[in-house]
Amino acid sequence: MGRRIVDSRCPANAAAGPDRGAAYAGALAAATPAQVKQLNTAQAAIAKESTAVGQSAADGMYDAGAQAGKGFLAGLTAQQKAIERAMADLAKSMKNRIKKELKIRSPSQVMADLGKEVGAGLADGVDTSLAEVKVSTERMSSLLVPVTIPAAPAPAAASSGSRRGGISIEELHIHEVTDRPTKQAVSDALHDVYVLHRSLL
């Protein structure tokens, strides 16, 4: 007897179950070699056609997807102007909403309020430092004391033998720009005043 093949891919084998599968196997065992050959040939043809159908379906789905994508792109391209108008309208709407929320009416009321707060904060900072400014001013004032600058000897005159007395400075205002408000700076300023008065006598 020729070789017999029981193909496990046969739907009858897969779906028959134990009882019916045993009967199917018995029928195959009793079949002639020619019958088994015909059965195997038919099974191979079915498997081949199934593969071809699956491949064809896959190709069809691929083509369908590609065409769907092209159609979607073509639709977007056709609607490009409308999409751009919609985007422009959205941008304008956002701008108007922002202007409304920020109370922007040239000038912005919100920014004006912020500016007021900045100014108020600056004023508060100046007020807070007034005590320190006062202390520094008093310390500088304590360095300015009345100074008597002796006059230079007057030249002898033919008609008078009198001489000028000393110049008494009871109040002295010194204005000097310096980055070192120290006692030495005040002393230097007083020296300059003394030299100036000597040149005028």
C-alpha closest to that of 183 among 157, 155, 133, 145: 145
Same domain, 194 and 149: yes
> What domain count does the chain have?
3
Band (pLDDT 50/70/90 cuts) for residue 107 is confident
Same domain, 97 and 62: no
d(Cα 47, Cα 54) in Å, to the nearest integer? 11
pLDDT at 90: 93
Q: Is 169 inside any structural domain?
A: yes
Q: Is 150 inside any structural domain?
A: yes
Q: Is 171 inside any structural domain?
A: yes
What's the chain's average pLDDT?
Answer: 73
Q: Cα dihedral sign for 8, 13, 18, 23?
A: negative
Average pLDDT over residues 92-98: 88
pLDDT tops 70 at residue 160: no
Same domain, 62 and 106: no
Q: Is 49 inside any structural domain?
A: yes
Same domain, 26 and 65: yes
User: pTM of the entire structure?
Assistant: 0.28
Q: Is 82 inside any structural domain?
A: no
Band (pLDDT 50/70/90 cuts) for residue 182 is low
pLDDT tops 80 at residue 20: no
Q: Is 173 inside any structural domain?
A: yes
| One-letter identity of residue 80 | Q
Q: Is 23 inside any structural domain?
A: yes
Q: At what angle do helices 109-128 and 130-141 cross, to 10 degrees?
A: 40
Same domain, 45 and 64: yes
Within the chain, how many helices (H) and strands (E) appear? 6, 2
23-72 pLDDT per residue, tens: 767 777 777 888 888 888 888 888 888 888 888 888 888 888 888 899 99
Domain that holds residue 41: 11-69
Match 């000393």 to its residue by tokens: 166
Same domain, 123 and 141: no
Query: Pairing mode, if any, of strands 147-149 and 167-169?
Result: antiparallel
73-92 pLDDT per residue, tens: 998 898 999 999 999 999 99
Q: Which residue has the higher pLDDT, 86 or 3?
A: 86
pLDDT at 4: 47
Same domain, 39 and 58: yes
Same domain, 194 and 145: yes
Same domain, 27 and 60: yes
